[in-house]
Structure 1
Amino acid sequence: MANKCLWCKQTISQELRVSFIMSFKPYVAVLMCEKCRQLFSPIDQATACPGCGRRQKQPRLCEDCQIWQTRHEPQLSNHALFPYATVQEYMSRYKFQGDYELRKLFQKQFQSFILASTSGALIVPIPISEKTFAVRKFNQVEGWLEGMSYQRMLDAESRDGLPQSKKDKRERMQLKQPFSVRNAWEGRLKNRSICLIDDVYTTGTTLHLAADLLYSYGAKNVSSITFAR
């Protein structure tokens, strides 16, 4: 059987062995060819920064996380699947150009990464504002989580001015609280463990603000996982 790689559009040939046919297992199409798969090298979790998940050679807090330590309590521990440089073009095509089909390329890998990094925590995707959704037509994080159990616990305010992706580091660090807890969850967060899911950890401000809000409602522990760092 043959299908096309979602990334390079080249044909992928799959040989169905007799043993597989006789097993009556469902056929699962390969969505990315091996050549393209090699382009996306994940972060080595054994040496990643324990604070933000940044790729590095030693498992110690990076300079950015050392700064967060001096200005923020409690600390937020983030795990990231890919270094941003590796998936920058992918994010451009998926998130900003709106190629929603590309969500499928990393759904299983990202979901497996999330499940391996959480233990009983409620999975909560970072929301996008109604204004952004009206333009993009989808939440890129929820696209990866399709078929997985998660909670829409937060809402994001629509704001004037530049989107997050267009702001520099100083402007990101000065971001005001953009989130609110949905009414249905206001009295249900006490002593809960929550894992926030976002696309990219840049300065960490967005995730820290979301964590602050959840802690103010009584959450016991808030961690985060991002697709990229």
Structure 2
Amino acid sequence: MRCLNCGAEINNNLKISEMFLFRTKIPNYICDLCRSQLEPLEGQNNCPRCCKPNIGTICQDCLMWEKKYQIINCHQALFEYNQFIHSYFKLYKRYGDVLLARLFYQDIKRWSLKHSFDVVTYIPASPSHLQARGFDPVYELYKDIFNLKKLLVKADADKPQAQKNRLERLQTPQTFYPLPELEQIQRNQSILILDDIYTTGRTLMHSHDIFLRAGFSDISTFSLSR
């Protein structure tokens, strides 16, 4: 197998311990050289509520969301947003290389096996982005790992989040609407909302608010990068 990012050969052979313990091998689509450019968030001195790197305490964004929504942010992410992640999403989202959706399959799959939720949903693409790309990047990133339920629709914004500065992101109005399927879910079930990148948390807080207003209380969020 070759790395989906750079094309280098990847050794996916089972280790001796995995063979004797009858463990299922989780496919790996990223080579060691590319992986060495990632900055895992696990074990860092992150914000305990949103995984903001090297903050050492609850960050100002989380305190702001607590004040606005009267909730304790519960977000987890795998990797710090760095140049490698930036380049990855540029190829994946801007240039539409949908095969890159599986680059982090092993990492996300391992995280999913350690956490359990009753319902898993995701941040959907807006109609204009879906038409331009031809695929929904968040859905493609997670579809082979989670049993995804589409519960939200997203209206087109004035301009893409990637083109906004921090203040513009924070001031973005609500763009999500619930689908009728949301009414079929019991309110005591735990909800996980998936996104690709957590920057200020504005997008996920908007989606979180939809579930909060619908009567859910056990709501968590997750992203590949923070």
TM tier, smaller = 0.7 to 0.9
Partner of residue 151, structure 1: 149
Deviation at 1:64, TM superposition (A): 2.4
Query: Which of residues 15, 28, 48 is equivalent to 1:50?
Result: 48
Correspondence for 2:68: 71
Please give the per-residue CA displacement for 1:136-159, whole angstroms capped at 9, x wherever unaligned.
111111112122312111111123
Is contact 2:44-2:53 (8 Å) kept? no
Size of the aligned set, in residue pairs, is 223
Query: What does 1:75-154 align with in structure 2 at a 5 Å threshold?
Result: 75-85=72-82, 86-116=84-114, 118-147=115-144, 148-154=146-152
Structure 1 residue 74 displacement after superposition: 1.6
**Bigger Cα Rg:** 1
Report if the CA contact (8 A) 1:133-1:139 is conserved: yes
| RMSD (CA atoms) | 2.9
CA shift at 1:227, angstroms?
0.8
Corresponding residue for 2:163? 166
Q: Relative to 1, partners in 2 of residues 1:38 and 1:182: Cα closer, same or farther, differing over 3 Å?
A: same
Correspondence for 2:206: 209
1 CA distance for matches of 2:137 and 2:70? 29
How much does 1:12 deviate? 4.3
Contact 2:41-2:78 within 8 A present in 1 as well: yes
Q: Displacement, 1:80?
A: 0.9
Deviations 1:165-184 (A, max 9, x none): 10111111111111111112
In the alignment, structure 1 segments of 5+ residues that lack a partner are none
- On the 8 A contact 2:14/2:25 being kept in 1, the answer is no
The TM-score with structure 1 as length reference comes to 0.84
Q: CA deviation at 1:70?
A: 3.1
Match in the other structure for 2:35: 37
* 1:51, distance to aligned residue in structure 2 (A): 1.6
Q: Is the 8 A contact 2:65 2:73 kept in 1?
A: no
How far did residue 14 of structure 1 move?
6.7
Mapped pair 1:223 → 2:225: no
Superposition deviation, residue 191 in structure 1: 2.4
Go from structure 1 to structure 2 and tell me whether the alpha carbon gap of 1:141 and 1:15 turns closer, same or farther (over 3 Å shift). closer
User: How far off its partner does 1:15 sit?
Assistant: 7.2
Kindly state the Cα deviation for residue 29 of structure 1 after the two structures are TM-superposed: 6.6
Structure 2: tracts of 5 or more residues without a match? none
